[in-house]
Structure 1
Amino acid sequence: MRLTLDSVDLFYHRVHALRELSLVVEDGEIVSLLGNNGAGKTSTLSLISGLVKARSGEVTWGEHDLTRMRPWDMVGAGLIHVPEGRRIFSTMSVHENLLLGGYLVDDAQLVRDRTEHAYELMPRLAERRNQQGGTLSGGEQQMLAVGRALVSGPKLLLLDEPSMGLAPLVVKQVMEVIEAINAEGTTVLLVEQNARAALKIAHRAYVLESGRVTMEGPASELAQDPKVIEAYLGV
């Protein structure tokens, strides 16, 4: 299903966070949103998942009008948001955290199968399955947050800064997991300040500045654009 934002305006009181924002994520793509702090990247994900409401514009996902859906109904439909900061349950075990991803899934066997699949994709979680979430490393906690989302059965996965604070080797592992999830058919909208890592795995990308799209195109082309290189790739 195609995700479409059409001329969206979002305000936080008097702060105009998104300005006539329009973008498209096609079924099966990885699309990355790039931009500096305050550009509107997290606001875009929060808008899509119903955490904030637009003042104007349309947000649709297939036949769903996301501006009229409740967040928990979106989860049931397969729109899953992994927020910045991981937000795992620190006093619960890895396994218990994963099972919570299936809270809205009625089929217990399906939840077990998805949990085992998360362990297959991220073997480190399997090694830590009885360990409290709060004792995991930052990279392991990020894997756990992604794994919990997988148990929900995502069709569209929103990821907010999955590489934040992680060592380069762990960033590589996280990006490989995202690619594997996408290869299995899940559409991904990725917000990421590590532009180099994001552009390496994305099909297309948008650059946001002050709530507006200022550049867009195939990720491979944006990675070669002098403006992107200067602003985001540190070359």
Structure 2
Amino acid sequence: MEPILDIKGLEVAYGKVEALRGLDLCVGEKEIVALLGNNGAGKSTTVSTISGVVRSRAGTITAFGRDITAAAPWSIVERGIVHVPEGRRIFSRLTVHENLQVGGYTVRETATVDKRIKQVYELFPRMAERRHQQGGTLSGGEQQMLAIGRAMVAGPRLIMLDEPSMGLAPLVVAQVMDAIRSINEAGTSVLLIEQNARAALKVAHRGYVIDSGRVTLTGPAGDLRTDPQVVEAYLGA
């Protein structure tokens, strides 16, 4: 099966600092792929480059059979790829409902936006309860749910989540991961960027481990969970 996202030989540098060094990665239809690595490994650079926020100096990014290496960020969203950045970055002064409406800015049909917001409320009942509350007054876990919900209003075929478990209590992490699984079961592919390898590999189908901008390991999530290198570096003895 041809992947919906196919990255080959991706190279990115910030000045003289090489962030990605020939990265290869792919995501299949209705697949959850985990991208694991320590701080500075190149995880956030990878998704920022896919979403058009950062430009590569070499390599190609193909999505749904089309080259998007040089595409504008808004065009990439319209093509079905949505990025939920690290730190959530919701609009703190807007209400929950207004934040969700912003997620539909590339969607032409108001009725479609309304339908998708309703689906977000079904996925995250807490958001429905807080629909008139300002985003900045939500807890960290609620803000993460809002950020994911806002992305879903765009109707992505592929959603990229950058460190969704960061700063969250274990119980809330489990709730977020359950939501990611539900989103995937409804048909959306997921690229999950995480330092929390234990949580990510529980929901992922496949995974990549990157270090210093290169893929060092890849395989089915079940294999990575028992790989001695992953256990030692990310899961504990």
* Unaligned segments of structure 2, at least 5 residues: none
Normalised by the size of structure 1, how large is the TM-score? Answer: 0.99
CA-to-partner distance for each residue in 1:180-227, whole Å, 9 max, x for gaps?
Answer: 000011010000111000000000000000000000000011001111
| One-letter identity of the residue aligned with 2:204 | A
Shift of 1:68: 2.3
> What is the SS of the residue equivalent to 2:40?
coil
Which residue does 2:105 correspond to in 1?
103
- Residue 166 of structure 1 pairs with residue 168 of structure 2: yes
Which of the residues 180, 185, 192 maps onto 2:187?
185
Matches within 5 A, 1:4-15: 4-15=6-17
Shift of 1:63: 2.2
> What is the SS of the residue equivalent to 2:54?
coil
Shift of 1:64: 2.0
Q: Report the RMSD for the aligned CA atoms in angstroms.
A: 0.7
Which residue does 1:92 correspond to in 2?
94
> What is the SS of the residue equivalent to 1:181?
helix
Normalised by the size of structure 2, how large is the TM-score? Answer: 0.98
- Residue 42 of structure 1 pairs with residue 39 of structure 2: no
Shift of 1:77: 1.3
> What is the SS of the residue equivalent to 2:209?
strand
Task: Indicate if the aligned counterparts of 2:34 and 2:201 stay in contact, CA closer than 8 A.
Answer: yes
Matches within 5 A, 1:96-135: 96-135=98-137
Which residue does 2:23 correspond to in 1?
21
Which of the residues 80, 83, 94 maps onto 1:81?
83
Task: Indicate if the aligned counterparts of 2:177 and 2:199 stay in contact, CA closer than 8 A.
Answer: yes
Shift of 1:69: 1.1
| One-letter identity of the residue aligned with 2:181 | E
Shift of 1:90: 0.3
How many residue pairs get matched?
A: 235
- Once superposed, which parts of structure 1, at least 4 consecutive aligned residues long, lie more than 3 Å away? none
Which of the residues 145, 149, 152 maps onto 1:150?
152
Matches within 5 A, 1:209-220: 209-220=211-222
Shift of 1:21: 0.7
| One-letter identity of the residue aligned with 1:153 | G
Choose 177-186 or 65-74, whichever is displaced more: 65-74
1:63 and 1:26 map into 2 onto residues whose CA distance is: 12
